[in-house]
Each structure stands twice: as C-alpha cells, then as structure tokens.
Structure 1
Amino acid sequence: MCAQQDSPDPSQAERLKSLRVDQRPPLLLNLALALQLQGMAVVAGLVQLGVGLSGVGGAMQGQCGPLVLTPVLCMLGFSIYREAALLCSGHWGFALLTVVLLAGLSQHLRSWSLPARLRFLHVPTLSTLSVLLSMLLVWAVCAALHHCGHIRIHTVPELLLKRTDFNMTRIRSWAVENSSSLPSPDLTAPWLSLPFPGLGLPLLSGQGIAAGVAAGLSSCVSSSAAYVLSARLLKAPTPPAWACNRGLSVEGLGSVLAGLMGAPAGICSSVANACTLGLSQCGSRGTVQLSGVMLLILGMFLPLTQLLTSIPLAIHGAVLSVTYTVATATGITYLQYTDVDSGRNIFNTGFVVFMSLVLPRWFRMQLGFIHTSVPVLDVFLQSCLMLPMFLVGFLAFLLDHTVSGSLSERGLERDQSTMEIHSLADKQQGSVQSLEAVYQPPEPVRRLLRLPGLWLLPFCACRSPVMEKVVVTSPETFSLMHSDSR
C-alpha cells in the first residue's frame, strides 16, 4: 500500500488529475494550498517592496490629512472584532479575566511602581508590563485547571463549528475532517532546527497573483497606518516619507523571504504591538531589535515554539480586544483638528467607516458576484472589495480629495513661505524630538546607504534628504557655537 502511494502508476496519476478539486486526496489539497499561499506571500511582498522603493507609499501618506487618518485608524481597530470574538468564545471566563487584568494594570494601577530599593526600571512597572503580566497570570491559571482536568482547551476548528454565520457549510466540513487530526506537541522534536526552504517553490498562478497584489496593497495601507499610530501614541513626530518608504521596503523584503522559506503568510506591521505602546508608554528601537532576536531564537528552538502554541485562544482574543480599541480611539482624536460640525466631514467619515464594514461582509456572502471576461480581474476586484483596510483607505482618500472643502475644514493649513500644505495634527502635536533623532537609521545602515552604487533609484526614496545636510554642516555649526560660548 505504501509503495503504491509513493510511486503511483501512470493510470493512477491520470485518474487523480481527472478528479474534481473536492474529490482529490486531502494531502494533495493541503500541499497545493500551501504552495498557493506561499506564492501569494511572495507577490504581496513584491508589491510592498515596489511601493516602498518607488516612493509611492511615502508620497501618499504625505497627502493624508486628519479626515483620512480618522476612518483608517478606526477601521484598523474595527477590522478584527469578528476574529477577536471567535477567539474569546473558546472560554469567555478566561477572556474576561484577561480583559479585567489588562484594564486594571494599564489604567487603574498605571502609576504604581516598585519600591526604590527594588526598582530596576525607572518606569511604572505595572503599566509597562501590563500585557505580559496579564497573559502570564491567566495562562498559569488555565494551565493548572487544564492539568487537573477541570477545563478543556478548544481549538480553532472546534470554534468554527459553533459559528452560525452565513455560508459556513464548507468551513464546518473542513473543521470536522481536521478536528481529529490536529497536530499535537511532538516531544521528540529536536531542540535546534535551522530554517530551510519549504517543500517546493511557491506556486504562482494568475488568480494567486491577483489576490497577492490585493493583499500587498492592503498591507501597505495597514502598515502606514501603524506607523502613524505608533508615533501618535508615543507623542513622536509623524513619520516622514522616507521613513515610511524604508519600512514598507523592509516589510516587502521580509514577505518575499518568508514566502520563499515556506511561510504561508507575509509580514506586516503588528497593530497589536503598536497599540501596546499606548498601554505601556514604552517604545524604543531597542525593544524592536530585541523582539526580532527573540523571534529568531523561537524559530530555531522548536520546543519553545510549541510552548507558546499552548497559550489558550481566549487569551489571544482578549489581548486583541483590548489593544485594537486603542487604534479606534486614536483615530477619533484626529477629529479635533477638523471642523466636526461640518456636514462634509460628517458624511465622509460616516460613509467611509460604514461602507468599509458593510461591503466586505456582503461580498463574502456573494462570492463570484463580479463577472468579467478576465478571471484574474474578477479575483483582484473581489479581493480588494473584501479587504476592509484597502477599502477604507481608498474611499477615505478619494472623498477627502474630491469633495470640496476648505483647508481649515479638512484640518490642513498652507505654509506661506513654501506654499506647501501641512496637517494641523503634525503642527499641534508639539513634539520636542527632531525627525533625525527618531527616524534616522543606525550608523551601519547610514554607511550602507552612502555607498556610491546606492545613491540612485531605487534607494533614494528610503534615504533622508536632511541627513546629508546635517553631516555636511555640523562641523561649521559646532565651531560657531563654540566661539560664541567663549
């Protein structure tokens, strides 16, 4: 039997090809689906890389005023509510306990810190570690009850079986087939496993490329919004165009590498991590670098990765429910720079947010609604209309630049010296930090960007135009200040 499966005769291969998709063996379907997802991740990464290196991402972000950022950030928080509710339904008791701990530690006890003799951080301890402490405490309680046999941890297929949403017959059948074959922790897994490419090269098809392009565009909108969100929460200057382009380029490169290495998904800025900055008020480049090193270690040491997969889904859902609310609330704060009583602003904001919630849900109910003569175009349009982030970014940008309104009404002002239009949110935020101090790359990266071969496109969009001025004029400025002090 095993020998026949390993080397099937030509007649069996022909019969497999003649079968419909739903009649093929599950192993072939899983392998084909994995290769398709890897191909989509590669295409999405190439789109992000192209948007970043060409400078389109930074240029578009510079044209986004408060009335564009408000619905985009609001939708950034609303877009996860169904998934968060699904995860919390694994165990509502643990989800509620996590929410209560998160709110209590980050808000009610945020000014509490360790005694002076025990203090090793000059920051409020409970507020800084609110997310980590809440997850660890509830995880420990859940592990103890599960070990004693009082509770049972639910899996994603079992949660999907409980859903009574529209058109879930195929998902329920998949859950029934896979609920008994879920991978269990392998105690014999090696401690150290170096990453290597997947089972094969990513599978690129016309429809997969179309879906990947739509996912890449949506990731660009989500990542750009996450950049602005992080800066807003930390009271830092708004990210300039070159910093946004650099971030999108690195994310695109990471998505391409992830797809080639066998990952079924690409890389995008974590909204939950960005919102955690609002709860902990602790953000620095060192924390991001430390997180990257920890992820590399977890990817190579499989037992540690399996330990993290034992975290109950309800805890994940609770953390998403709390952190994503920060994005929604931050988006609302941008309305203070606009005329909130303007009928134009009321219509644009309400229309964009409502349509971005309704249209994706409706198009999921009406799969195959778009019929053109080109199937690839059908998939691309259907994918774009089913992605809330792409839809809200497109509608908000379109309405804000087409519906007539004054600059003050839109939260903008014109600089009389340069005749450039700036956002009032950037001016009134009042950050004392300079752009170079916050967004300038480390010295090794700056030396790399100064190489003669990298002065031209495509890396010019990722380089600070002010950086070269500071490097040239700093000696003269220092000497003048030194002479004046004498």
Structure 2
Amino acid sequence: MTENHERDAGSEPTESDFVDYGIDERPPLGESILLGVQHYLTMVGANIAVPLILAGALGMPEPLWPRFIGTFFVVSGIATLAQTTLGNRYPIVQGAPFSMLAPALAVVGVVQATNPTGMADWRAALLGLQGAIIVASLFEVAIGYFGLLGRLRRYLSPVVIGPTIALIGLSLFDAPQVTAATQNWPLLFVTLALITLFSQYLDSRSRVFALFPVLLGVVAAYALAVALSLAGVYAPGTSGYVDVTGIFEAPAVVVPYPLQWGMPQFEASLAIGMLAGVGASIIESFGDYHAVARLSGVGAPSEKRIDHGIGMEGLMNVFSGLMGASGSTSYSENIGAIGLTGVASRYVVQVGAVVMVGVGFVGYFGAAIRSIPDPVVGGLYVAMFGQIVAVGLSNLKYVDLDSSRNIYVIGVSLFAGLAVPAYMGNVAAAAPDGMGGAAFFRQSLANVAVVGPVLGTKLVADTVYVIGGTGMAVGGLVAFVLDNTIEGTRAERGLEAWAEIAEDEGDFRTAFERFGADDTDPVKGD
C-alpha cells in the first residue's frame, strides 16, 4: 500500500483508511488502464441489462441492437468523464440506471398502446421516451445547480432512501428473462451458481474472483450455452440457444450520435411520469455519494458537492436522452469495487471511461452482448437485482431499527411499492382488446364520482398510471410523507449519523472555482 495519501482538506479519515490509491493519486498509465477496465467490468453486467430489457420491450429490430447497446456504453463513458472532471469529482462510474427503467417501461407501454404518429411502434415509443427523459432531466439539473437537494437533505433520511433503492430491484423481479414460461432453468441456475461461487465462496482465494465474479459467471455460462448450441442440445428458437453467426454479421463499427433515432417527442404526462425515475435516481445517487466517500477514506459529501453531482447527472441525462439511451446515474457496483480493490483514484476511473467510449463504437461488441441467451441474462438479473435490493437496505444501518415508527414507515412503503404497481398491472391486463392499460385506467377514473372530470383527464390519469406503475416512486413518496410527518428524532431517523461524517462546505471547490487556484490552495486537488 502507498502511504500518506492526499485527502480533502478538513476531512477526517473514516473506516476505510486503507486505500491503495487515493482520490487524487495517479498510478502509471499502463496500470491505470488495467485498473480502469476492472472498474468498468464490475458494472458491465448492469450496463448491458438495461438496454437488453428496453430493446426487448420496445420490439426494436434485432439488426439495430448493436448500435443501441453501443450507445449506452458511449453515454456511460462520457458521463463518467463529465462527473469526475466537472461534477462532484468522486471516483464514481456513471451508467444506465435501473431506477429509471421501470418508468421507462411504463412510458413505452403508454406510447405503444396509443401510438398516433403512424411510425413503427418501437420508434414512436423510443422517441416518446427520449422526450420524457430530456424534460424530466431538466428538473434534475435545476434541483442540483439551484441547491434544492442540499436544502432538502434534512428531509431525506435513510428511512426514505433505503426502501426506495430496494424497490428498484424488487420492482424488476418478474422480468421475462427470469419468469418466462419457457425458461431454461438449468442454464439460469448454472449462471447464478457460478456468480455466487466466485463472489461468495472463492472471493478470498484470488482477487480475480473477488473483482470479476459477474463477468466470470456470465462468460462461463455463455460458453456453456454456445457449446450446447453447437452440439445440437439447444435447437434454434429454444431458450438457451446462441446464434454465433449473428455476431460476425454485425457491422464492425457502429457510430452512435445525437438524434440518431429521430426527433424526440414531448408529452407532459410522460415527462411527469419519468420524474418518478429521475427522483429515485437522485435519491440513489445521494446514498452512493456517501458510500463512495466512506470507502475512499474521505469525509461524507457536503451539500455543495452533492448539488454539483446531481446537477451534472441531470446534464448527462439530457445528453443521454438526445443520444437515445435511457439515462445515466452513479453505479453502486463501482463503489463496491473500491472497497474490494482499494483503488479510489479518480484518474483510474477516467482512463476506464475513455476505454468504454471506444468499446461503444465496436459493432461486434454490441452483437456479442445481444447474443447472450435469456437464461444467462436471467441468472445475471437475479444476482444484480438482488444486490440492488441489498444496497438499499444497507442504508438502514444508520437508523434505529428498534424504533416502531421506523419499522412502520419502512414496512408500509415497501408493501405499497409492490402492491400499487401490481394493481396497475392488473388494470392493464383487464383492459379490453384494442384499449391499452393507460386508456382503461383513464376511463375508470373518469367514472369516479365528483372528481372524475379531473382525474379522468389524459394528463392526470396518465401521470398517475405511470407513477403508480413505478415501485420506487410509490414507495419513496409514501416513505417521504410518513417519515416527515410521524414524530421521530434526528438520531432515530439516522440523520445525525450522516451529519457526523460530513465534510466541511469549504472542502469542495466547483470546476469554476478551481480555475485560477494557485499552488498553495489547500484543496487544489479537488
């Protein structure tokens, strides 16, 4: 280990005062490339899960999948460079958010059910999604750079954040790659068993297993599926079959660019619904900033650093919407890698981001990702979504779990976050042929006595339908209201524990403030 790592002025070392490379340290370039790739490999599974789910829900033509997947990696790399350079400057990777996936799927369903554009359903839905993300993300930009989250921080306790993040994973338990009636369960179990073996049983045997359990598990299961496909055990069209010829038929180079799918379509109700996902992403990042600070051996983030991080995430979400991806947020997998490797170098993460941008232009890469069979993806989902649930619940270690009010808030918010979306799903299933779930729900609200004329309007009904179908939005709203109206002390809610490990407001300089700082500036590295 290296000694005397630089720290932000005024910060106190935390429980993770053992990093090999501190935030401002720069390993040699060759080593940084390998370490940077390692950082990205820990989150590659999650960053491919979102485009795979979204492309399938859209019904996007398969020849376009490589460019669609490549777009997500280009956006991830550029967003990471922006965050680590101009944003909060933490060594934190940005990638496709699960928190925005559920509302994105709801938006896709609404647009495809009512498509008035005359264009293909998948394109109309994607353009509607792009418009919703762009508009909702502008609110995130304002929340960040106007300092609103910093002011609201006193109201966002771990009692609110824990259930909200947990519901990100719980809301996706029924993904078709997991629960399809034609599921190849042996292959799914092999994938999950391999990931579990490498991450939980062999992680202490070798750093390779500790660093790359997801990658090793997926690659091994994928190799098995390829072998069984070539041997004729898995026939074309069956679950688990891999068409390797499709990889080489893909273009060698794909060039993602802004507005590549067309001009985004803007509709108020869809944008309001997407605000639920943006809000959940903000809360998730709020927790991630505290985690990365703790694992990097520096003080918990100040209000100023939090606000600039959220503002930059908003800008990168707008960029993602223009590119035709589904948003960008901080990745917990990358934070976990810091704890495993002791590598908290901002420079290392930036080098890895450059590599990821380059990979996004390789068509074969996107095609290879597309060829991963559903059972392998399903095993990955079980591990990754389960991990997200655990990350959310881990925030509860700061609160008093002997408190009946905390137990009540957490339990009710989790239950509501599962029950209300299930109700919305039942509404959609009960809709008559030719009428989408959103239209049927709107019709049912219009028949409500007295307030029906208001509730039954397209804007109100579609907004309620999208938000109600998003577990983390429902749970987060319920937790927020209950936690801030039921009497409870700051210590009981976990707010004092967070305040004790926070850095001073003067410890963070914005990108503009750093320009012109002289060599005697005690925080020039930040």
Provide TM-score, normalisation by structure 1: 0.67
The match for 1:292 among 353, 361, 378 is 353
Q: Aligned partners of 1:99 and 1:321: how far apart in 2?
A: 7
1:80 paired to 2:150: no
What root-mean-square deviation, in Å, do the aligned CA atoms of Structure 1 and Structure 2 show? Answer: 4.0
| 1:473 shift after superposition | 6.1
Distance 1:208 1:337, change over 3 A: closer
Q: Aligned pair in 2 of structure 1 residues 425, 404: CA closer, same or farther (>3 Å)?
A: same
Instruction: Look up the match of 1:96.
Output: 189
Q: Does 1:258 align with 2:341?
A: no
Residues 87 and 316 in structure 1, CA contact (< 8 A), matched pair in contact too: no
Match in the other structure for 2:8: none
* Distance in 2 of aligned mates of 1:47 and 1:365: 31
Question: Using a 3 Å threshold, how does the CA distance of structure 1 residues 88 and 101 change in structure 2: closer, same or farther?
Answer: farther
Q: Could you tell me whether the CA contact under 8 Å between 1:207 and 1:376 is conserved in 2?
A: yes
Q: 1:140 Cα shift? A: 1.5
Q: Are 1:377 and 2:450 matched, yes or no?
A: no
Q: 2:480 aligns with which of 375, 379, 397?
A: 397
Alignment partner of 1:303 is 2:364:
yes
Q: Assess, with a 3 A threshold, how the Cα gap between structure 1 residues 25 and 145 changes in structure 2: closer, same or farther.
A: farther
Structure 1, 246-255 or 208-217: larger mean CA deviation:
208-217
1:387: Cα distance to partner?
1.4
How far does the alpha carbon of each residue in 1:202-227 deviate from its partner, in whole angstroms, 9 at most, with x for none?
11233333334344334323433444
1:219 alignment counterpart: 281
Q: CA deviation at 1:394?
A: 1.8
**Alignment-derived partner of residue 105 in structure 2:** none
Pick closer, same or farther for the CA change 1:28–1:208 going to 2, 3 Å.
same
Most deviating of 369-378 and 22-31: 22-31
Q: CA deviation at 1:112?
A: 1.6
Distance 1:191 1:208 in 2: 33
Q: Is 1:364 equivalent to 2:413 in the alignment?
A: no
Q: Residue 160 of structure 2 aligns with which residue?
A: 68
Match of 1:246 among 308, 313, 326: 308
Residue of structure 2 in register with 1:339 after alignment: 400
CA deviations 1:59-116 (Å, max 9, x no partner) are: 3344322322332333233232222634797432222122222222222222223xxx
- Higher mean C-alpha displacement, 397-406 vs 51-60: 51-60
Larger Rg: 1
Structure 2 gaps of 5+ residues are 1-111, 428-436, 447-452
Matched, 1:42 2:134: yes
**Counterpart amino acid of residue 101 in structure 1:** L
Query: How far apart are residue 21 of structure 1 and its match?
Result: 7.6
Determine if the alignment matches structure 1 residue 150 to structure 2 residue 233.
yes
Aligned to 1:130: 213
TM-score, normalised by the number of residues in structure 2: 0.62
The alpha-carbon distance between structure 1 residues 66 and 31, as it changes in their structure 2 partners (threshold 3 A), is closer
Question: 1:299–1:408: structure 2 CA closer, same or farther, 3 Å change rule?
Answer: closer
1:201 matched residue in structure 2: 263
Conserved? CA contact 1:359–1:386, under 8 Å: yes
Alpha-carbon distance change, 260 to 242 in structure 1, aligned in 2, over 3 angstroms: same
Cα gap change, 1:335 to 1:303, in 2 (>3 Å): closer
Distance verdict in 2 for CA 1:199–1:399, change over 3 Å: closer
Contact 2:289 2:301 in 1 (8 A): yes
Pairs aligned (count) = 386
Mind listing any 5+ residue stretches in structure 1 that lack a counterpart? 1-19, 114-123, 160-182, 413-422, 453-467, 476-486
Deviates more, 1:25-34 or 1:60-69: 25-34
Please tell me whether the aligned partners of residues 251 and 364 of structure 2 are also in contact (alpha carbons under 8 angstroms). yes
Alignment of 1:455-470 (within 5 A): none
Taking the aligned partners of 1:21 and 1:319, their CA distance within structure 2 comes to: 30
* Aligned-partner Cα distance in 1 for 2:187–2:232: 16
SS of alignment partner, residue 492 of structure 2: coil
Identity %: 24
Quote the Cα distance in structure 2 between the aligned partners of 1:376 and 1:23. Answer: 16
Q: CA distance change for structure 1 residues 272 and 45 in 2, over 3 Å: closer, same or farther?
A: same
Structure 1 counterpart of 2:471: 388
Shift of 1:357: 1.0
- Report the counterpart of residue 39 of structure 2 in structure 1: none
